[in-house]
Amino acid sequence: MKKIMVSVAPVAATDMLINPRAIARDVYECYKNGAAMVHLHVRDIHGALTPDMSLLKETVDYIREMCDIVIEISTGGVSKLTIEERVQPCYADYVEATSLNVGSVNLGDAVYENPIRDVRYCVQKIMENRKIPEIEVFELGMINTVRELNEQFHFVKPILFALVFGHGGEMPATVPSLKHMITALRENFPNEGDTLWGYTQAHRKDFEMVKVALDMGADTVRIGFEDSDYFSPDVRVDNNAVLIAEVSDIIKSRGMVPMTPDEAREMLKIPKLRKS
3-state secondary structure 205-257: CCCHHHHHHHHCCCCEEEECCCCCCEEECCEECCCHHHHHHHHHHHHHHCCCE
Question: Rounded distance, CA 243 to CA 238, Å?
Answer: 10
pLDDT at position 168 is 94
Q: Give the domain ranges of the chain.
A: 3-268
pTM listed for this prediction: 0.96
- In 3D space, the residue among 183, 252, 247 whose CA is nearest the CA of residue 216 turns out to be 183
- In 3D space, the residue among 65, 71, 62 whose CA is nearest the CA of residue 36 turns out to be 71
> Phi, psi at residue 141, to the nearest 5°?
-60, -25
Question: Rounded distance, CA 211 to CA 213, Å?
Answer: 5
Asked if residues 34 and 261 have their Cβ atoms less than 8 Å apart, the reply is: no
pLDDT at position 238 is 95
pLDDT at position 274 is 75
Question: Rounded distance, CA 129 to CA 119, Å?
Answer: 16
Distance between terminal CA atoms of the chain? 32
pLDDT at position 275 is 65
Question: Rounded distance, CA 88 to CA 155, Å?
Answer: 20
> Phi, psi at residue 47, to the nearest 5°?
95, -5
pLDDT at position 10 is 98
Give the torsion through C-alpha atoms of 69, 71, 72, 77, to 10 deg. Answer: 110
Q: What is the pLDDT of residues 24-64, one digit of tens each?
A: 999 999 999 999 999 999 999 999 999 999 999 999 999 99
Q: Is the peptide bond before 190 cis (omega within 30 degrees of 0)?
A: no
Question: Rounded distance, CA 96 to CA 29, Å?
Answer: 20
- DSSP secondary-structure letter at 272? P
Element (H, E) at 126: helix 116-128
Question: Rounded distance, CA 17 to CA 19, Å?
Answer: 6
The CATH homologous superfamily to which domain 3-268 belongs is: Aldolase class I (3.20.20.70)
Residue segments in the chain with a per-residue pLDDT below the cut of 50: none
Element (H, E) at 40: strand 37-40
Asked if residues 188 and 144 have their Cβ atoms less than 8 Å apart, the reply is: yes
pLDDT at position 276 is 56
pLDDT at position 18 is 96
